[in-house]
DNA sequence: GTCTATAAGTAGATAGAC
DNA sequence: GTCTATCTACTTATAGAC
């Protein structure tokens, strides 16, 4: 593995586990067993590392978002799809843990992040449209936008909300609970079948978390 | 106005407008027209200032939360009450802009903040219970907790979400939109009257924002 | 209470040898 | 590519005069 890739790999690990703000360029080079000078040979600094990590995240997320076009037509599909999005976010969770600080510090990333969020919003809207057309949900158009915003809120701040509620966390369980939380937002619009779907979801949730 | 109070006042202003992370002890003393040494005479550092500001916020918020006991029985009351909570948060918005960083940096504040959030959650649950008993809403008990969490999410991360979507913001309009957003979460559980309530809310919203 | 001056500590960045 | 050594810049915090 080339040093450049090792730097990215270890940085992502450190940022996710210990928090981005806490790690200095020297910390990263120590973790890698290389000198700070060497680190600066490969990346101009922590900024460049973060930008490179964002490149990777952005590309992966765009692939996921574009993969939804017309392929999510049942509530089960929806469940799985939300799951996939959350897992991708979890892989780069350090971004979402300090969103405010990071976007203030890197205005260029803020622009790109906003564009990504916009595409995410369009995807969620499309998802709700597909579910409507398939007759799975029925929602007043005035409430549809509000629901979309709520789902966006959940998808964006689930990690921060969890950090607020507990000190430690179990990633798999947290993702699971968050999918459930998002699905609960949709249940009221499923009419009579909503309660059945909810029951099935709870079963599914209980089974997976023991 | 005593210097101590002036420091707190100007610090809150700076933190809210420019961001807490960006302001150093020297910046604050410059803004006040006093020396850094003098600042350190009154407060041991930025930490002590932030703690003092949190004291104020915590006390004000607790008064608001305790004021809800049994006094919110209509959907209009609920609207007003959410409004009051959001305005209080807005006054100390710098806390909510960098929650993650702040709570990591000040573990003692994190403990107190979590307790405050817990009381907030109890208040929201109580609100929903009161609305249920008054026959205003009807909600499956399994969905009630999820709804509570969603409202908490909205109340806690509305400021960060807005910062993500725009560069600048109009406080009054943002608060208004957020109240609307929260109310939209409750509408599905209002049955037939929900649509009327929604229409009235939209009217109200349009009127207030022009 | 308030000032000036300065110490002490930390993060970021580069130069030059190997 | 990688290292050691060092330098700059900045923030916090304190000492001592007024």
In terms of domains, do B39 and B127 share one?
A: no
Structure-token match 């992966």, residue found: A60
- Asked if the model's pLDDT at residue A38 lies above 70, the reply is yes
Same domain, B62 and B37: no
Q: Are residues A12 and A111 in the same domain?
A: no
Q: What is the dihedral of CA A170, A172, A175, A180, to 10 degrees?
A: -110
Cβ-contact A148, A125 below 8 angstroms: yes
Q: Are residues A76 and A114 in the same domain?
A: yes
Tell me, yes or no, whether A36 and A72 share the same domain: no
Is it the case that residue A145 has pLDDT exceeding 70?
Answer: yes
Mutate to test the interface with B, among A113, A153, A174 (most CBs of B within 10 A): A153
- Tokens matching residue A205: 């949730």
Overall domain count for chain A: 2
pLDDT recorded at residue A167: 85
Q: Which residues of A touch B (CB under 8 A)?
A: 19, 21-22, 97-101, 103-104, 113-114, 117, 140, 142-143, 146-147, 149-150, 152-154, 156-157, 160-161, 163-165, 180-181, 184-185, 187-189, 195, 198, 202
Question: What is chain A's mean pLDDT, rounded?
Answer: 94
Judged against a pLDDT cut of 70, whether residue A199 lies above it is answered with yes
- Single out the residue of A94, A73, A86, A89 nearest to residue A16, CA to CA: A94
CB of A160 closer than 8 Å to CB of B100: yes
Within residues 13-42 of protein chain A, the ones with CB less than 7 A from nucleic strand C are 24-26, 36-37, 40
Residues A112 and A185 in one domain: yes
Is the same domain home to A4 and A89?
A: no
Distance between CA atoms of residues B184 and A165, nearest Å: 25
B68 & B155 share domain: yes
Per-residue model confidence as pLDDT tens digits over A92-128: 999 999 999 999 999 999 999 999 999 999 999 999 9
Q: How many other CB atoms are found less than 10 A from the CB of residue A17?
A: 11
Q: What is the CATH number of the domain that holds B29?
A: 1.10.10.60
Is residue B102 domain-shared with residue B166, that is, in the same domain?
Answer: yes
Residue B210 has pLDDT above 60, yes or no: no
Look up the CATH number of the domain holding residue B77: 1.10.357.10
Percent of chain A residues topping a pLDDT of 90: 85
User: Are B178 and B155 in the same domain?
Assistant: yes
Same domain as B166, residue B73: yes
Total beta-carbon pairs less than 8 A apart between chain A and chain B: 102
**Does residue A81 sit in the same domain as residue A169?**
yes
Cβ neighbours of A39 (radius 10 Å):
22
- Does the pLDDT at position B178 exceed 90? yes
Tell me what the mean pLDDT of segment B24-35 comes to.
Answer: 98
Residue A208 has pLDDT above 70, yes or no: no
Backbone angles phi, psi at B74, to 5 degrees: -120, 165
- What's the domain range around B106? 49-209
What mean pLDDT is predicted for residues A15-36?
97
Return the pLDDT at A207.
67
pLDDT band with cut points at 50, 70 and 90 for residue A192: confident
CA dihedral A116, A117, A123, A126 (to 10 degrees): -130
């Amino acid at each position: 593995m080339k040093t450049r890739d090792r730097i990215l790999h270890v940085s992502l690990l450190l940022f996710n586990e210990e928090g981005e703000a806490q790690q200095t360029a020297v910390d990263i080079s120590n973790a890698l067993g290389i000198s700070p000078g060497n680190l600066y040979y490969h990346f101009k600094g922590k900024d460049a590392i973060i930008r490179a990590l964002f490149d990777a995240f952005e590309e992966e997320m765009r692939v996921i978002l574009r993969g939804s076009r017309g392929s999510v037509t049942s509530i089960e599909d929806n469940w799985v799809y939300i799951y996939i999005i959350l897992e991708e976010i979890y892989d780069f969770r350090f971004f979402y843990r300090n969103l405010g600080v990071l976007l203030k510090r890197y205005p260029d990333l803020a622009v790109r992040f906003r564009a990504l969020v916009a595409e995410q919003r369009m995807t969620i809207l499309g998802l709700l449209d597909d579910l409507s057309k398939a007759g799975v949900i029925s929602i007043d158009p005035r409430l549809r936008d509000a629901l979309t915003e709520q789902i966006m809120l959940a998808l964006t701040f689930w990690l921060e909300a969890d950090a607020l509620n507990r000190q430690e966390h179990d990633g798999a369980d947290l993702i699971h609970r968050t999918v459930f939380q998002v699905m609960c937002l949709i249940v009221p619009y499923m009419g009579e079948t909503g309660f059945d779907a909810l029951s099935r979801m709870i079963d599914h949730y209980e089974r997976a978390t023991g």
